[in-house]
Amino acid sequence: MALTPEGLSALADEARRWAGHKERLDARLYRLLDLAREASALKHPLDREAVEKALLAREERFGLEEELYLKDLEEGVVALEVQGMQVGEINGLVVVEGPLPRGRPVRITAQAGPGREGILSIDREVGLGGQVFHKAVLTLAGYLRGSYASLGALSATVSLVFEQSYGGIEGDSAGLAELLAVLSAISGLPLRQDLAVTGAIDQTGRVLAVGRVAEKVEGFFRVCQTLGLTGSQGVVLPKANLPHLTLRKEVVEAVAKGRFHLYAVEEVDQAIELLFGRKAYWVHDKVREVLGEFRKMENGEENPSP
């Protein structure tokens, strides 16, 4: 096969995607050779265009499930918003495994009220959550205890659920999104729906790296394309994941043109300001105020409004 420098560069780009890092290459050469053979069968000489055509052909061969999912979004079968503001709702990001793993947004909702149960994960209660997922929920509860320790024990019951999710859930990459949904549900302050969120958290409020970040960004971009790009949409991700952003050309171009946005954060408060559109201290003060009201209700000092 006649391989041009541009074709070699395109193959290297794909090897970086498989490695999940901009500074590394996947060493499984047989995969690159398979891709090169497919590309050379589509176009001579083997240049960047040939490689891109081969990749597109692969996506089309395995793309029926994704096509049906996007159609369900258009028809409203899958309930998801990529514009406006909502209380206690946020777009998290997951990866659906398969021959070609795909990132997808998932609507995470939270409801809060007086009580002593703390964070109640519905997915965990019905057995859909794995061990690392359970750990992330407990870490979230630890962050809340530490942040609002001056109020004593948390006088709230907050339910969390991944809406329209019927399979097993594993990993801690939704920790940041879940926390933001919880803070919104308690405070009554709305969250932006045009931003999707990925990132794990620790008990001190640091945002930690997650896996498959490129697929997650691309998944939300496809959904926004399907429902209509507004120019304000984007993804909030851990700053530690920046070396892993081996994104497709169309996403890179959309970011460069300001049609799609990426926000890298290191601390929870940075994400709070992006999603709430308010200073973090203001959101925390509102959460403390409401938790104080919940405590009074629990202690019988006042009755909730009818």
3-state SS string over the chain?
Answer: CCECHHHHHHHHHHHHHHHCCCCCCCCCHHHHHHHHHHHHHHCCCECHHHHHHHHHHHHHHCCHHHHHHHHHHHHCCCCCCCCCEEECEEEEEEEECCCCCEEEEEEEEEEEECCCCEEEEHHHHCCCECHHHHHHHHHHHHHHHHHCHHHCCCCCEEEEEECCCCCCECCCCCHHHHHHHHHHHHHCCEEECCEEECCEECCCCEEECCCCHHHHHHHHHHHHHHHCCCCCCEEEEEHHHHHHCCCCHHHHHHHHCCCCEEEEECEHHHHHHHHHCCCHHHHHHHHHHHHHHHHHHHCCCCCCCC
* 52 shares its domain with 111: no
| Percent of the chain scoring above 70 in pLDDT | 98
Looking at the structure, tell me whether residues 55 and 127 fall in a common domain.
Answer: no
Q: 268 and 164, same structural domain?
A: yes
* pLDDT for the residue 301: 64
Total domains, the chain:
2
pLDDT for 9-28, tens place per residue? 999 999 999 898 988 998 88
The string of pLDDT tens digits covering residues 35-85 is: 999 999 888 889 999 999 999 888 888 888 889 999 999 999 999 999 999
Does 173 participate in catalysis according to the annotation?
yes
Are 147 and 277 within one domain?
A: yes
Is the domain of 122 the same as that of 10?
Answer: no
**pLDDT category of residue 302 using cuts at 50, 70 and 90:** low
Task: Give the CATH number for residue 50.
Answer: 1.10.8.60
| Catalytic one of 40, 121, 184, 216 | 216
- pLDDT value at position 298? 80
Question: Which residues span the domain enclosing 55?
Answer: 5-21+29-61
Name the pTM for this structure: 0.89
Give domain status of residue 227, yes or no. Answer: yes
* 135 belongs to the catalytic site: no
- From the candidates 173, 232, 239, 279, give the one annotated as an active-site residue: 173
